[in-house]
Amino acid sequence: MLRLGRREFGAHEPVIMAIVNRTPDSFYDQGATFRDEPALARVEQAVAEGAAIIDIGGVKAGPGEEVSAEEEARRTVGFVAEVRRRFPDVIISVDTWRASVGEAVCEAGADLLNDAWGGVDPGLAEVAARYGVGLVCTHAGGAEPRTRPHRVEYDDVMADILRVTLGLAERAVALGVPRESVLIDPGHDFGKNTRHSLEATRRLGEMVETGWPVLVSLSNKDFVGETLDKPVKERVLGTLATTAVSAWLGAQVYRVHEVAETKQVLDMVATIAGHREPAVARRGLA
């Protein structure tokens, strides 16, 4: 059972996490939701299309202009409070590695802290424990926030992913984070080259077998682009193919830009797997 905010999800229930970037320089939309009104419209659309979680980020993942903790909080805290007011039942996640920002957004109503940089600030898990919110424990290969990998090597990338994410998850629970609210994430592209991310996808079942719910953040990433030699705006089909494979292997939460398309893929895989009934079944019966 996965429990986040006011919601509970069964073991075979896929969950969509919609990305809302409060940054002027995001790699995918170049700041389309930096201003409040477009961002709130994005939240409304994502919820209508089937997203259960809204993931709000105030700093782009890649290199760029320095963003202080104060500026990150300015971009996210008030917005979290407004989303909480307008959408009381939605699960609000905040993509941050900083404990100070985590504390501020939890005060504003966040339900989940998405630590994409692998516990670089150990105080973030302590914040999650103090507020009783969820935590995403990610493998980033020891990379510093907002840096790109350079000639990284692993003897066994999945072994390293498991070592790091399980260690972070167990530490979080020991601190007091509810066990049913902790997720693990292989961290596609973070501290990895394309071959590492492909292997992490191929071996995702090993993470699922640990019993922790697995989150994957695949949407339009470089490993998809390099695999198909496609620019950012032409990676949707590759992303959806990777989503289908990840769903078949048992991942539960999907951090995405394209909500409606992802929902169709997840519904189709769940139905093939026997975890969901067809929406309509008339063929051969009329």
Active site residues: 221, 255
3-state class of 283 per DSSP? coil
3-state class of 21 per DSSP? strand
**Burial (Cβ within 10 Å: 0-12, 13-18, ≥19) of residue 48:** exposed
Rounded CA separation 244/229 (Å): 20
Return the sign of the alpha-carbon dihedral for residues 235, 237, 242, 246: positive
Estimate the crossing angle of helix 259-272 against helix 36-49, to 10 degrees. Answer: 20
Asked if 114 contacts 97 with a C-beta cutoff of 8 angstroms, the reply is no
Task: Give the tokens for residue 15.
Answer: 């969950």
Taking the alpha carbons at both ends of the chain, their separation in whole angstroms is: 39
Kindly give, in sequence order, each residue whose CB lies less than 8 Å from that of residue 38, ignoring residues fewer than 6 positions away. Answer: 32
Rounded to 5 degrees, what are φ and ψ at 225?
-60, -40
Q: DSSP assignment of 138-189, as one string?
A: E--TTPPTT----S---SSHHHHHHHHHHHHHHHHHHHT--GGGEEEE--TT
Report which secondary-structure segment, H or E, holds 8: strand 7-9
Rounded CA separation 272/278 (Å): 9
